[in-house]
């Protein structure tokens, strides 16, 4: 760890905790890029995090996630609480240009220090998207935000994992979506603590909500090894995010879910988040070691043999591990 | 490696290579579950793989991927070649129940030994979806299939990576999809070797194709660090998978892309696949070591401290690595 990285991290962390939003933004960029500054800052901030309520919001394309997030921000601010948003965009897996979409409307909060919105590309997180978003949430948590919303599209494995790792996971649906979307929905429902039928002013909203309630009665309790208790089946709410209808009830439901979790054992999600984060760092460390100047040539020669099918990947992996352990 | 796993792997591998489809299916199940049998079988089969043409097919929900795959199968079989399909479904991230959807129609190939279709859940691949699908493709490759199609939904990071890791990546579009889908498309196009506008009989298909061609002219050459040459910009084709229109032209374009890749350097994708696979095994090995009977208690205590915010994840990662290196 370079001393200047540690110094820079201390400056940025102290400024971010003190309310400097530019410093906070820079810190989050460091987290996304997994720099040494990010590591030093997280070491420093981590012990003070753990107070915020992390809420994952996910659902298929077109269900209105961004509009609902905007409506929730308004509701949370009306209640005098602070809120940060991490929006994992359906953006390029390669160049990572994050799209703004209808998030532009949120620029009306530009002068409000209690609202912070951050887009995060879904690509290129070596240790996994969940690890990066967890680290970003820890920074926002330490910076004192009451509520942290993590918005992801609900159609990719990594993206669903991100939302499922929150304290409370909201799955959004919209009435009358297509068949393929229905298929996606079945998987999503299993990670839901709350289900929201958005676009409640559209025909079919009540019917969709009734169908979902029936599905959730029929389905078994969560079978995912998640130790979080599911004291009762997920509530199904109807919102019209565009008008704000149902949004106060959604916020109340989020608060209820949190207090139930606190009384019971909400540590399952926290333990899973900790493991994802620690594991990503372990993997980073090991990968760096295999590609450092002492090992890079041997690593690349091995990978080339595998690519040419002259060596199987298990033997290659064993040789890499032996090599890295020999120093 | 238990001797019985090695024996079982040898039996299954030899049977699978000999044309026993039940043995092949069992081997693929072992690969999905990352068993010792899978490891032994891959060690055995890997050197004979490397002959098949791997084609990734991805696109947003509703673009007609499964229908196009069915049409391609018919075309490939008409040409007397064999084909295997790995369909990564938009299924549950938790229970992993893979959906059949319109794949049922493909049961008409049930008696055709030169067609093999396998669904693979997108959840629960510890080393990553790309590593599992690459291993599955290596098994199918060793079993002698000429063409291996890997179908994934094009809206998740892991899912797009799977398709992008193929020798040839086909991105599917449909005319007149919604705004959020357009956003997804921009990211997808960057991994495309071929772009297909499906549902060519719908109004707007020609316009969509023209727009795509214009976008692809405007966009810079691939900036993804992928060393595969892109000798010219991706071709844009129009198909109507439901009727088969344009499918012979698609197969011809796939063959052309492959021969160009062969003449040039197609090793970029192969090297990337090798690295993903080796890395997944390294991670598996390390994870197993951290959770084995000697280390499990210490590992869990550390993770608990991180979950409670009494310890930062970097210090925890360093302690885990020290611990695992001490034996």
A246 min Cα distance to partner chain B (Å): 24
Measured between CA atoms, the residue of chain A closest to residue B152 is A156
Q: Do A307 and B281 touch (CB under 8 A)?
A: no
Amino acid B261: pLDDT: 66
B73 min Cα distance to partner chain A (Å): 21
Say whether pLDDT at B257 is over 60. Answer: yes
Among B183, B281, B290, select the one facing A317 at the smallest CB separation: B281
- How far, in Å, CA of A323 to CA of A298, rounded? 9
Q: Do B180 and A312 touch (CB under 8 A)?
A: no
Measured between CA atoms, the residue of chain A closest to residue B289 is A321
Would you call B283 an interface residue with chain A, using a CB distance cutoff of 8 Å?
yes
Beta-carbon neighbour count of residue B20 at 10 Å? 17
Would you call B264 an interface residue with chain A, using a CB distance cutoff of 8 Å?
no
Helix (H) or strand (E) holding B128: none
Amino acid B63: pLDDT: 83
Amino acid B127: pLDDT: 62
Amino acid B324: pLDDT: 67
Q: Do B153 and A155 touch (CB under 8 A)?
A: yes
Amino acid A270: pLDDT: 79
CB < 8 Å to A160, chain B: 93, 156
Beta bridge partners of A218: none
Domains of chain A (ranges plus CATH)?
Answer: 1-48 (no CATH), 49-266 (3.40.50.300), 291-325 (no CATH)
B191 min Cα distance to partner chain A (Å): 8
Among B93, B155, B318, select the one facing A187 at the smallest CB separation: B93
3-state secondary structure of B240: strand
Say whether pLDDT at B134 is over 70. Answer: yes
- How far, in Å, CA of A119 to CA of A108, rounded? 16
For range B246-270, the mean pLDDT: 80
Q: Which band of pLDDT confidence, cut at 50, 70 and 90, is reported for residue B90?
A: low
pLDDT in tens, B174-214: 887 655 555 556 667 878 899 999 999 998 899 889 888 88
Q: Do B314 and A39 touch (CB under 8 A)?
A: yes
Average pLDDT in chain B: 81
If you average pLDDT over each of A318-322, B81-85, B90-94, which comes out highest?
Answer: B81-85
Estimate the crossing angle of helix B36-45 against helix A313-325, to 10 degrees.
110
For A177-199, letters b (16+ CB in 10 Å) and e give: beebbbbbbbbbbbbbbbbbbbb
Say whether pLDDT at B7 is over 90. Answer: yes
Amino acid B223: pLDDT: 44
Q: Do A190 and B94 touch (CB under 8 A)?
A: yes
For the beta sheet containing A115-121, the strands, ordered from the edge strand earlier in sequence to the opposite edge, are A115-121, A83-89, A147-153, A53-59, A168-173, A194-197, A235-238
CB < 8 Å to B307, chain A: 267, 270-271, 273-274
- How far, in Å, CA of B56 to CA of B50, rounded? 16
Is the full-model pTM beyond 0.80? no
Amino acid A142: pLDDT: 96
Among B91, B222, B303, select the one facing A275 at the smallest CB separation: B303
Counting residues of chain B whose pLDDT is more than 90, the rounded percentage is 41
**Looking at per-residue confidence, does B317 or B106 come out higher?**
B317
Complete DSSP assignment for B150-168: EEEETTSHHHHHHHHTSSE
Among B48, B153, B310, select the one facing A47 at the smallest CB separation: B310
Complete DSSP assignment for A44-103: HHGGG---SEEEEEEE-TTS-HHHHHHHHHHHHHHTT--EEEEEEES--SSS-----GGG
ipTM of the complex: 0.77
Amino acid B165: pLDDT: 81
Amino acid B177: pLDDT: 62
Low-confidence ranges of chain A (pLDDT < 50): 91-104, 220, 222-231, 263-265
Torsion of CA B3, B8, B11, B15, to 10 degrees: -150
For range B128-137, the mean pLDDT: 86
CB < 8 Å to B298, chain A: none
Say whether pLDDT at B327 is over 90. Answer: no
CB < 8 Å to A61, chain B: 60-61, 155, 178, 180-181, 184
A271 min Cα distance to partner chain B (Å): 5
If you average pLDDT over each of A202-206, A257-261, B81-85, B262-266, which comes out highest?
Answer: B81-85
For range B102-107, the mean pLDDT: 51
Amino acid B225: pLDDT: 43
Residues 48-67 of B with CB under 8 A from A: 48-50, 60-62
Among B183, B190, B287, select the one facing A99 at the smallest CB separation: B183
Amino acid B95: pLDDT: 34
Say whether pLDDT at B110 is over 80. Answer: no
Say whether pLDDT at B224 is over 50. Answer: no
Mutate to test the interface with A, among B48, B92, B152, B164 (most CBs of A within 10 A): B92
Torsion of CA A244, A248, A253, A254, to 10 degrees: 80
For range B101-116, the mean pLDDT: 67
Mutate to test the interface with A, among B36, B68, B153, B314 (most CBs of A within 10 A): B314
Amino acid A77: pLDDT: 94
Beta bridge partners of A58: A152, A171
């Amino acid at each position: 760890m370079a001393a200047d990285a540690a110094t820079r991290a201390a400056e940025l962390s102290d400024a971010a905790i003190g309310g400097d939003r530019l410093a906070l933004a820079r810190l989050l960029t460091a987290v996304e890029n997994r720099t040494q500054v990010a590591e030093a800052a997280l070491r420093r901030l981590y012990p003070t995090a753990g107070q915020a309520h992390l809420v994952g919001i996910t659902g298929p394309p077109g269900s209105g996630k961004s509009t609902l997030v905007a409506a929730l921000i308004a509701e949370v601010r009306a209640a005098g609480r602070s809120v940060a948003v991490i929006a994992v965009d359906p953006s390029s897996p390669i160049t990572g240009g994050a799209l703004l979409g209808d998030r532009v409307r949120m620029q009306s909060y530009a002068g409000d220090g209690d609202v912070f919105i951050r887009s995060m590309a879904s690509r290129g997180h070596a240790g996994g998207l969940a690890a990066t978003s967890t680290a970003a949430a820890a920074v926002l948590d330490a910076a004192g935000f009451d509520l942290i919303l993590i918005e992801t599209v609900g159609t990719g494995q990594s993206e669903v994992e991100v939302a499922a790792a929150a304290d409370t996971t909201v799955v959004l649906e919209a009435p009358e979506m297509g068949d393929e979307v229905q298929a996606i929905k079945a998987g999503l429902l299993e990670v839901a603590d709350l289900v929201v039928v958005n676009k409640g002013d559209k025909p079919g909203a009540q019917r969709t909500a009734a169908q979902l309630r029936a599905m959730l009665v029929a389905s078994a309790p969560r079978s995912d090894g998640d130790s979080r208790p599911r004291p009762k089946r997920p509530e199904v709410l109807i919102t019209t995010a565009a008008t704000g209808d149902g949004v106060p009830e959604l916020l109340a439901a989020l608060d209820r879910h949190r207090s139930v979790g606190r009384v019971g054992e909400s540590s399952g999600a926290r333990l899973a988040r900790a493991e994802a984060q620690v594991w990503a760092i372990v993997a980073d460390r090991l990968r760096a070691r295999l590609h450092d100047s002492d090992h890079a040539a041997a690593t690349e020669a091995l990978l080339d043999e595998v690519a040419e099918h002259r060596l199987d990947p298990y033997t290659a992996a064993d040789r890499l591990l032996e090599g890295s352990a020999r120093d």
